[in-house]
Amino acid sequence: MTARQGDAPREPAEIGRQDRRRIRRGPIPAFDIDADYRRFVDGRSRSDGVRSFLRSRGMTVPEGSAQDPPSSLTVAGLAARKQDLFAAEIAASGVRVFPDAAALLRRLRAARRLEPHL
């Protein structure tokens, strides 16, 4: 499945609006879905995406740990927050199913090349 304009990229923007001011004072460029998502977030782990985006804005936060709550101003905390926002968006809006991808998943399951839970 691939993200289309307006799908998954919304949640990094939400993190940016709510947390940028807590990390750095002064003018900070807003998250731009077209310019920033693919460059700093797409295809990276949650933590790597947080680090990459913050670095692009001249910001750093402590690494933290996997036990950090989503409210922590750490890489781990911000990654957890991003995951929570992403999960909430999927719960609220669902995901777009691509017919060709669904057909491929059925064929792979039938050939026993894909675990049933995927």
Phi/psi at 71 (nearest 5 deg)?
Answer: -85, -10
- Find, among 99, 72, 97, 100, the residue nearest to 15 by Cα: 72
- Find, among 5, 63, 12, the residue nearest to 41 by Cα: 12
Residue 47 maps to a domain: yes
Q: Which amino acid is at 110?
A: A
Note down the domain range covering 106.
10-110
Residue 60 maps to a domain: yes
Residue 115 maps to a domain: no
Residue with tokens 């060709």: 100
How many domains, the chain?
1
Residue 78 maps to a domain: yes
Distances in Å between the Cα of 63 and the Cα atoms of 6, 66, 72 are 29, 9, 10
The set of long-range contacts for 28-33, using a CB threshold of 8 Å and a minimum separation of 24, is 28/57, 28/59, 29/57, 33/5, 33/6, 33/9
pLDDT tens for the chain, residues 1 to 118: 344 444 454 555 555 655 655 666 667 788 898 999 999 999 999 999 999 999 999 888 999 999 999 999 999 999 999 999 999 999 999 988 888 998 998 888 888 776 666 5
Residue 3 maps to a domain: no
d(CA 73, CA 70): 8
Residue 84 maps to a domain: yes
Residue 5 maps to a domain: no
Residue 1 maps to a domain: no
Q: Which amino acid is at 38?
A: R
**Predicted pLDDT at 92:** 93
